[in-house]
Structure 1
Amino acid sequence: MVASAQSDLASSFKEGMNFVANNDYVKAAELFNTLAAQGHMEAQFYLGLMHEGGLGTAKDEQQAVSWWHKAAEQGSALAQNNLGLMYEQGRGVAQDNEKAAFWFRKAAEQGDAEAQYTLGYMYANGDGVPRDYQQSLFWFRNAAEQGDVAAQFKVAQLNLGPAYTPDNNVTQDFIEAYKWFSIASVDGDQHAKEGLETTEPYLTASAIEEAVRRANEWVASYRLKKISEKA
C-alpha cells in the first residue's frame, strides 16, 4: 500500500511538471497544492516558487515562505537556500540574518553551491554569524570546487592575506591565490585577470609555474568530472 501510494504521488508530480513544461501553470499549481498538502517535498518547493512568482496562483511571498519552510524541514536543499534568501532580504518574512545563516548552512551542508557562497560572504562580513575569515574561506572553497566562479575569485582574494582578512587568521598563500585567479579567469571572471597581475610580482617564475600547474590540473579534473556526470 505504501509503495503504491508513493508511486501515485510520483506519477502526479510528474504530471504537474508536464503542466509546467506546457506553460499551464494554473493546473500545475492546483496539482502541486494537492500534493504539497500531502507532504510531497518537491511539490512544496515548486508551489513556493509559483507563489513567489505569481505563476498559476496569486503572488504571495508569505505563502512561498510557508511552503519552503515545509520543504526545508523535510531536507530540501533548494528550499533551504531559498528560505535563507527570503530571511536575508526580508521578503514574506521579517528580515533576520541569523535565521538566513541558519538555513543557508543547512543547504550548504548538503552541497548547495549558491548557499555555500552566500554563507562564505556572511562569514566575511559578520552578517548573522560572527566574522570569521577561516569559515569564509572554507565555504567559498566548497563553492569554488563546484565551479562557482564568484567563489573562485573570493578564494583567491582571501589567500592574498591581510588586505582581505584584517584579523590575519588566514594563512597568506600567493601560489593558491594565483591558482584560483587563473581558474576564475578561465571560467570568465573579468576581475580575475587583474588579480593575476596584482599577485604576479609576489611570485618567482617557478612559483607561477607551480600555480599554473595546479590550476590546469584543477580545470582538467573538473571538466572530466562534468563529462563523467553527463555520461
Structure 2
Amino acid sequence: MAKKLLNLLIFYRETRLVSVLPLAFCALFVLASQLSAQEDGVHVQEGLVALNAQDFAGAAAAFQEAFDDGDADGAFYLGRMLELGIGGIANPKAAVALYRVASELGSAQAMNRLGVLHIQGLGVLQNYEEGARLVCAAAELGDTNGAFNCGTVLREGVGTGKDEDLAYDWFAKAGDQGHLGAMNARAAALIEGKYVAQDIPAAMSLLEHTANRGDRAGLFALAQLQAAGLAGDADLIEAHKNFNLAAVLGHPRAAAARAAVEAGMSAEDVALAQERAQAWRPVELPKEKISEEG
C-alpha cells in the first residue's frame, strides 16, 4: 500500500545552491546568521555581535582587525558586507576580490560563496567546474553550506561527475550540522528509497524538524506525506495547515496543493486547519545554532 501511495506522491525537491539567502530578507540577519561548523575567531565574533546591534562601522572594523590578524574569515565577512551593501553602497567587485583572498588563505565560507557565484555566473565568469571544486573544497573543510552545495552539484552533475550516492552522504553531513535544505534532501532520499534504504518514519522526522522551523520546502513535503498517509492514516487537516503555511511563505505549488486537499474536506475541518495555521509559530533555534539557508 505504501509503495502505491509513494507512486502518487510528487515530492518537491527545493534544494538549491545556497546563495546566502535572498536579499529580500533582512541583510543584517543574513550576514549575522552565517555561522559555519568551525568556531569563529574572537574578532569575527565581535563583528557579528556588532552587526546584531546594527553597528555596521564597528562590525567592519572588527572584521578588518580579524583579517589583519590572519583570520581569513574576516575578509569573508567584509566581502559579505560589501556584496550586500551593509553599512554603505554595495560593491560586488570588491566583494569578489575579498572572497578570492579569503579562499586562498583557507576560509571555507569564502570558498563556498565564491563557488556559488561561479556556478550562478554572478560577479564572475560562470564556470561550473571551478564552482563545484570550490564548494566541495569548502565541504571538505567542514563548512555546512559547502557540504549542502557539494551534495547538490554531485546530485545534479553540475561541473563534476554525477554521484548521487556521495551527494546524499554530503546531505547527511550537512543535515547533521543543522542545514534545513540538506535535511529535506535527505528526507527525499529516504522517501524514494533509491540511494538509501526507504525509511518513511525517518523522513517524517526530518521534515517535521524543518517544517517546525518554518522552512517552506519542509512544510510542503510534510503536508504531502500527511495527505498521502504514508506514515499512517491520512491527516488532511494537518496537510491543509502545512500547505497553507508553505503557501504564505512563497512555495510555488502549495496553494494548488492546498486547494486539492480542501476538495476532500468538510467545512468544519477546513476551518480547524485554518485555525491551526493561524496559531502556528516556528520553533526558534538558539543564536549560536542558526545556520545559513537558501
How high is the TM-score relative to the length of structure 1?
A: 0.74
CA positional deviation for 1:212: 4.6
Whole-angstrom distance in 2 between the partners of 1:143 and 1:3: 31
Equivalence for 2:208? 141
Say if 1:51 and 1:138 are closer, same or farther in 2 by CA, change over 3 A: same
Taking the aligned partners of 1:184 and 1:31, their CA distance within structure 2 comes to 36
Cα distance in 2, alignment partners of residues 208 and 55 from structure 1:
44
Q: Aligned residue for 1:200?
A: 265
Equivalent in the alignment of 1:217? 279
* Cα offset, 1:112, TM superposition: 2.2
Q: Say whether the 8 Å CA contact 1:143–1:151 is kept in structure 2.
A: yes
Q: Tell me the distance in 1 between the aligned counterparts of 2:154 and 2:243.
A: 32
Q: Distance in 2 between matches of 1:82 and 1:145?
A: 23
**Letter paired with 1:200:** M
Distance 1:32-1:209 versus aligned 2 partners, 3 A rule: closer
Which residue matches 1:100? 167
| Amino acid in the other structure paired with 1:139 | L
Matched, 1:155 2:222: yes
Choose the corresponding residue for 1:114, options 181, 189, 212: 181
- State the identity %: 26
Contact 1:178–1:199, Cα closer than 8 Å, also in 2: no
Where 1:200 maps in the other structure, the secondary structure is coil
Give yes or no for contact 2:151–2:166 (8 Å, CA) kept in 1: yes
Contact 2:75 2:101 in 1 (8 A): no
AA partner of residue 176 (structure 1): E
TM-superposed deviation, 1:7: 4.6
Richer in helix (by share)? 1
Any gaps of 5 or more consecutive residues in structure 1?
none
Unaligned runs of 5+ in 2: 1-40, 44-64
> Contact conserved, 1:177 with 1:199, CA < 8 A, in 2?
no
1:74 to 141, 159, 168: 141
- Alpha carbon RMSD of aligned pairs, Å? 3.3
The equivalent of 1:172 in structure 2 is: 233
TM-score (norm 2): 0.60
**Residues 140 and 151 of structure 1 are in contact (CA less than 8 Å); yes or no, is this contact kept in structure 2?**
yes
Letter in 1 for 2:115: G
The partner residue of 2:80 within 14, 17, 26 is 17
Amino acid at match of 2:165: E
Q: 1:71 to 1:197 in 2, by over 3 A?
A: same
Amino acid at match of 2:76: F
Mean CA deviation greater in 124-133 or 42-51: 124-133
Q: How far apart are residue 95 of structure 1 and its match?
A: 0.8
- Quote the residue 1:32 is aligned against: 99
Alpha carbons of 1:93 and 1:212: their partners in 2 closer, same or farther (altered >3 Å)?
same
Q: CA 1:24/1:173 → structure 2, altered by over 3 Å: closer, same or farther? A: closer
Question: What is the DSSP-based 3-state SS (H/G/I as helix, E as strand, rest coil) of the residue aligned with 2:265?
Answer: helix
Higher Rg of the two aligned structures: 1
Query: Residues 160 and 30 (structure 1 numbering): CA distance in 2 closer, same or farther, change over 3 Å?
Result: closer
Deviations 1:195-218 (A, max 9, x none): 4424425xx94x666545543332
The size of the alignment, in residue pairs, is 214
Corresponding position of 1:125: 192
Instruction: Report Cα offsets for 1:145-191 as digits up to 9, x if no partner.
Output: 222333323212212345xx3xxxx1214243343244335545312
Of the two structures, which has the highest relative contact order with CA contacts closer than 8 Å and spacing of 6 or more? 2
1:67-114 CA distance string (max 9 Å, x none): 212222333222111111101110111111111111122222223222
State which drifts further: 38-47 or 15-24.
15-24
